[in-house]
A and B are shown apart, each in its own frame.
Chain A
Amino acid sequence: MRTSLIFILLITLLIPSAVLAKSFGQGVTLSTETAISAILDNPATYVGKKVKVTGLIIDVCSTRGCWIYLAGDRDFEKIHIKVTDGEIIFPMEARGKKAVVEGVVESLEMTREEVIAQRKHHAEETKTSFDPASVTSGEKVLRIRGLGAEIQGL
């Protein structure tokens, strides 16, 4: 009996994480899921609210793992998930995996200078070219401040 209990305990502690979804940050607690398309269509309804979204991870911050892009439920759509540096570090292997993310929807009013600075930083991280002249005005950016996530197949 005691041997069995020790065996079960060891298996529970050492079970490969690849079998289960890997949890990040505060994990996922909400039961109701919100479609990314719903947030993009009606941002005012969701800004400041905590939501749970599901989607394919299409890009990961290659420097600090501090953001991901989640594909929307409709073609050609995606949403930016930003997490606090160091609190959650998304691994590069997460790209192409399905994720459930929980966080608060944010709407940021960015000046032209802020947009240029952000895109320049993004271009450096992704090693792509960026022309500051391509930004002509400020932008309103919709994103989710990620608090927790579960990624399948990691």
Chain B
Amino acid sequence: MNWRRWNTALHRDIGFLCIGLTLLYAISGVAVNHIAQWNPSYRAERTTTNIGPVSGNPAEPETIRIILARLGEQGKLESSYRPDPVSLQLFVEGRSILVDLTSGQVEYDRAIPRAGLREMNFLHLNHPKKAWTWVADLYAVALAFLAVSGLFMIRRSTLRRGLLLSSAGILLPLVFLWLYL
């Protein structure tokens, strides 16, 4: 088999291998690009309720138990904080519960993961680190191979179009660097 056939075969097979990862990085890429407008991984939800005035020492576990019981909160209490003398903030499995002890007003904050996007962003932003770093590096090398091997697949009949579009793709980032850097 000559080198052109090898090039085409490798381009095809590595391309197949990259489909899943490319979609993952593309979807997450758009989501993360707009991080100034939204949180791409979570949806913050705030609800308010009133459980009535709470007496007793906020530092006492019994007071906290009463608050959680009034809220019907079944989750495990992780920690607590006193922002001021009349408030108590409780953390239950990622949820924040801010209680005004005198009025009984409660602000319930939940961070709801965006199904699918959170997981994609987790991988895209390399939060797992460890072995995933190697996978991401290999994917980057594979993409570079696809780009270079693609150049050798330009045929005589499509030479003009191939060169034009390839040049445009290379010029595009350079134009923006010239504009913004």
Q: Tell me whether B85 is interfacial, beta carbon within 8 Å.
A: yes
Contact yes or no, A96 B41, CB < 8 A: no
Contact yes or no, B81 A63, CB < 8 A: no
Q: Tell me whether B138 is interfacial, beta carbon within 8 Å.
A: no
1/0 contact trace for A57-84 toward B, CB 8 Å?
Answer: 0110011110000010001101000000
Q: Given A13-B130, A127-B44, do A95 and B111 touch, yes or no (CB 8 Å)?
A: yes
Q: Tell me whether B175 is interfacial, beta carbon within 8 Å.
A: no
Contact yes or no, B111 A93, CB < 8 A: yes
Q: Tell me whether B94 is interfacial, beta carbon within 8 Å.
A: yes
Q: Given A14-B131, A76-B85, do A98 and B35 touch, yes or no (CB 8 Å)?
A: no
Contact yes or no, A56 B44, CB < 8 A: no
Contact yes or no, B130 A96, CB < 8 A: no
Number of interface residues of A (CB under 8 A): 27
A89-B94 Cα distance, complex, nearest whole Å: 16
* Smallest beta-carbon distance A98→chain B, Å: 7
Contacts of B92 in A (CB 8 A): 96
Contact yes or no, A92 B44, CB < 8 A: yes
A3-B73 Cα distance, complex, nearest whole Å: 48
Contact yes or no, B94 A92, CB < 8 A: yes
Which A residues, 11 to 62, have Cβ-Cβ distances below 8 Å to chain B? 13-15, 17, 56, 58-59, 62
Which residue of B35, B91, B129 is within 8 Å of A64 (Cβ)?
A: B35
Taking each of B78, B81, B83, B94, which has the highest tally of chain A beta carbons within 10 Å of its own beta carbon? B81
Nearest chain B residue, comparing its CB with the CB of A92: B111
Contact yes or no, B44 A96, CB < 8 A: no
Q: Tell me whether A97 is interfacial, beta carbon within 8 Å.
A: yes
Nearest chain A residue, comparing its CB with the CB of B128: A17
Q: Tell me whether A132 is interfacial, beta carbon within 8 Å.
A: no
Nearest chain A residue, comparing its CB with the CB of B112: A92
Which residue of A14, A85, A92, A96 is within 8 Å of B39 (Cβ)?
A: A92
Q: Tell me whether B46 is interfacial, beta carbon within 8 Å.
A: yes
Q: Given A56-B81, A71-B81, A98-B79, do A64 and B39 touch, yes or no (CB 8 Å)?
A: yes
Nearest chain B residue, comparing its CB with the CB of A9: B131
Contacts of A64 in B (CB 8 A): 35-36, 39
* Smallest beta-carbon distance B107→chain A, Å: 9
Contact yes or no, B82 A97, CB < 8 A: no
A64-B125 Cα distance, complex, nearest whole Å: 13
Contacts of A59 in B (CB 8 A): 96
Contact yes or no, B94 A96, CB < 8 A: yes
* Smallest beta-carbon distance B95→chain A, Å: 8
Which residue of B79, B94, B111, B128 is within 8 Å of A56 (Cβ)?
A: B79
Contact yes or no, A95 B96, CB < 8 A: yes
Contacts of B81 in A (CB 8 A): 56, 58, 71
Q: Top 8 nearest A-B pairs by Cβ distance?
A: A96-B91, A92-B111, A13-B131, A62-B44, A96-B78, A92-B42, A71-B81, A13-B130
List residues of B whose CB falls within 8 A of some A CB: 35-36, 38-39, 41-42, 44, 46, 78-79, 81-85, 89, 91-92, 94, 96, 111, 125, 127-131
